[in-house]
Amino acid sequence: MKDNWLDRRAAEDASVVHDVETIDTILRRAADLRTFVRVLLPSGGRVFDGRIHTVTSDALFVEPINVDDTFVVPTMTLGMAQFRSGEHNCSFITWSRGSGEYRRGETLTLVEFQKPEAMIIAEGEDTIGPFDGSQPTFAWVSPQGSIRLVARSLGPHLGIFRLPEMHPPVAVGDTIGLHPSQAAPEQAVQGLVRWRHGREILLEIIDEHLALWTQHRHDAGQALPEAA
Amino acid sequence: MSGGEQPIERRFLANSSTDVLALLGKCCYEERLATLFVPSLPEATTARFIACTGDRLLMEPEKKSDVLNTPPLSLISGVFTLDQDAYLFQTWLRQGRTMDLSKDRLIFELAAPKAVVSIQARSAYRVPIDPESEFAVIVIAAGKTIPVTPLNLSLGGVRVRLPAELGSLPVGTSLKVALKLAPITALLSATVRWAQGPIVGLIFDECVKEGELVPTAEIKELVRMLEATHLRQVFNRVA
């Protein structure tokens, strides 16, 4: 029988919100928190990162980050933006009204977009990460001893890890045990390797160990500053 | 702004699986291109619609992409245009690797999107008009001269709110429109392109020919002046 783990673990369906007040609330909260946003300009496939800066009655301002002096977004450019609001993934499509410098104590470069009137909201899982690749670490309880796995992201049922350069053979379908590096081996949980690319693996934690996994995931999230 | 004054610029396909499937099916039939976007990747990928079933969407990338190396269940968004509208869908990746459907084709397998939003394609940027603006618009129709409230202006047209006593104007109505902002005055022929109650969109007949924008010098100058005003107001708001 085919294992439909993908469908089993898929997040809930995305839905469309086009209530103006709801969208305004989501965007203003994102602006208050200077929420990280990734913007795609489909013409040319350009992507830039930024933080939601200001929301007005008809406009949305994004402060781009890590851009140089040549950065410019022309007016009438189609833009698609994606950001997280709590446990939700939010995305929308709108037109730019151009980019420019604004003075607000300091001089800022802001990109103005027409405030979206529709938004897709996906009730994504409460995934922690992506991490920067240095922390947290888990120990794989392997026959060859303790193998260090670097966590990339930790979801309620799934974890993505990076294997060290030297590691025992691992393939899709294998089951491995792992525990936080600072925890005892008896705290290990079992995970099934569902995907592998190079040294990256995706583990699905077995149902019997989800309670323990939830605790490990919580501890890992507490130990780290929130990743962008 | 009351609900009745909301301009209708977008068409929504809110969780209507039939509509979404029909839309995606048309994209597959036309083998349209979409720009795919995975939040964890720094670059976008262009891919072509290939096939869509009730729960799967297959897309063929134009070239090898990091999407192929992305874990399954990753969030993925796509932007495409169809019939002059732009669309956005959001879904998740089923297969982050290639599938060999016909020897050498790389295929992304996505969950069929359930939610799609669209935005009307535009030929010109619309400058919002502040209610306090001195920009005045007068509609001349059926022998009457009617002052109206301008809501936005572009190189190709103007959106206005009609006075309550006038009601609405049918789509297709031909009229004259006078635009005034000292020292500019422009008198143009216009056609009602769309209407929703007292809010109507007028297209300037002289400024749009065979789908191409050919704005008059007066309209160009009016848009420039109003855009400058708008940007100053934006500056004040942000500051």
Show the beta-strand stretches assigned E in B32-173.
33-37, 45-52, 56-61, 75-82, 85-95, 108-111, 115-120, 127-128, 136-141, 144-153, 157-161
Given a cut of 80, whether residue A125 has pLDDT beyond it is no
Contact B79 A93 (CB under 8 A): yes
pLDDT at A42 over 60: yes
Instruction: Measure CB to CB from residue A38 to each of B39, B128, B238 and give the nearest one.
Output: B39
Contact indicator for A177, A140 with CB cutoff of 8 Å: yes
pLDDT tens for the 239 residues of chain B, in order: 333 333 333 333 444 566 788 889 999 999 999 999 988 788 889 999 999 887 889 999 888 778 878 888 888 999 998 876 889 998 888 876 666 655 567 888 999 888 899 887 666 677 888 888 899 999 998 788 999 999 989 888 999 999 987 777 888 899 999 999 999 999 999 999 878 788 888 999 988 776 667 888 999 899 888 888 877 776 665 54
Say whether B113 and A14 touch across the interface (CB within 8 A): yes
For residue A5, name the pLDDT band (cuts at 50, 70, 90): confident
Which residues have CB under 8 Å from B175's CB, separation 6+?
B139, B140, B141, B169, B189, B190, B191, B192, B202
Q: How far apart are CA A188 and CA A191, in angstroms?
A: 10
Strand A158-162 to strand A175-180: parallel, antiparallel, or no bridges (unpaired)? unpaired
Q: Is the pTM of this model over 0.80?
A: no
B186 vs A67, which has greater pLDDT? B186
Out of B46, B71, B92, name the one closest to residue A10 (CB). Answer: B92
Interface of A with B in 77-116 (CB under 8 A): 78, 80, 82, 89, 91-95, 97, 100, 102-104, 110, 112
| pLDDT reported for residue A188 | 92
CB-CB neighbors (< 8 A) of A117 in chain B: 6, 9-10
ipTM summary value? 0.84
